[in-house]
Amino acid sequence: MAELIPLTIRIVCPVHIGCDEPYEPTQFVVDEESHKLVVFSPIEMIQSLGTEERAKFSELCKKGTPSSLLEIYRFLRGRKVQGRKISITQGLVTHYRKTLSLPLSDTRKVIQELNSFVIARTAYLPDSHRVYIPGSAVKGAIRTAYLNRLAGGKRLSDPPKGKEASRKLEKILLEGSFDTDPFRMIKVSDFLPVNEPRSRILYAVNQPKDPSRRGARGPYQILEVIESGSLFFGTIKVEDPLPNSGIKAPLQKGILFEAIKNFFTIEKQREDKELNRLGIQPVSVQSGPGSWLLRIGRHCGAESVTIEEYRRIKILGRRAPLDHATTLWLASPDAKPTSRAKLSPFGWVLLEPITMQHYEELLASEAQWRSNWMAAAKTRAALEARERERALLEKRRRAEEAKRKALEEERRRQEAERRERELAAMSPEERAVSMLHGPEAREDLAFEIYRNIDTFDDPVPVAQALKDFWVSIGKWKKKECSKKQWEKVQKIKMILGEQ
Q: What is the pLDDT of residues 231-283, one digit of tens each?
A: 999 999 988 777 776 677 777 888 889 999 999 999 999 999 999 998 898 98
- pTM comes to 0.73
Q: CA–CA separation, 248 vs 258, rounded Å?
A: 20
Q: What is the pLDDT of residues 430-472, one digit of tens each?
A: 999 999 998 888 999 999 999 999 899 899 999 999 999 999 9
Name the nearest CA neighbour of 207 among 75, 343, 107: 343
Residue 139, Cβ neighbours under 10 Å: how many? 17
Element (H, E) at 412: helix 356-424
Q: What integer pLDDT is reported at residue 164 of this predicted model?
A: 67
- Kindly indicate the confidence band of residue 379, based on its pLDDT and cuts at 50, 70 and 90: confident
Helix (H, G, I), strand (E, B) or coil at 495: helix
Residue 395, Cβ neighbours under 10 Å: how many? 10
Burial annotation 280-299 (CB, 10 A radius, 16+ → b, else e): bebbeeeeeeebbbbbbbbb
Residue 359 — φ and ψ, nearest 5°? Answer: -60, -45
The answer, yes or no, to whether residue 215 has pLDDT greater than 60, is no
Residue 392 — φ and ψ, nearest 5°? Answer: -65, -45
As a whole number, the mean pLDDT across the chain is 86
Give the percent of the chain with pLDDT over 90: 39
Give the percent of the chain with pLDDT over 70: 94
Give the residue, 81 or 215, on which the prediction is more confident: 81
Q: What integer pLDDT is reported at residue 218 of this predicted model?
A: 67
Q: CA–CA separation, 140 vs 172, rounded Å?
A: 18
Q: Which residues contact 304 (CB under 8 A, 6 or more apart)?
A: 141, 144, 264, 267, 295, 347
Q: According to DSSP H, which parts of 2-89 are helical? A: 42-47, 51-63, 66-76
Q: Which residues contact 334 (CB under 8 A, 6 or more apart)?
A: 89, 91, 203, 342
Q: What is the pLDDT of residues 112-134, one digit of tens each?
A: 888 888 999 999 998 888 999 99
Q: What integer pLDDT is reported at residue 170 of this predicted model?
A: 74
Burial annotation 115-132 (CB, 10 A radius, 16+ → b, else e): eebebbbbbbeeebebbb
Q: CA–CA separation, 151 vs 134, rounded Å?
A: 27
∠ Cα 245 247 248 (to 5°): 135
Q: What integer pLDDT is reported at residue 240 of this predicted model?
A: 78
Select, from the ranges 46-50, 78-82, 161-165, the one with the highest average predicted confidence (pLDDT): 78-82
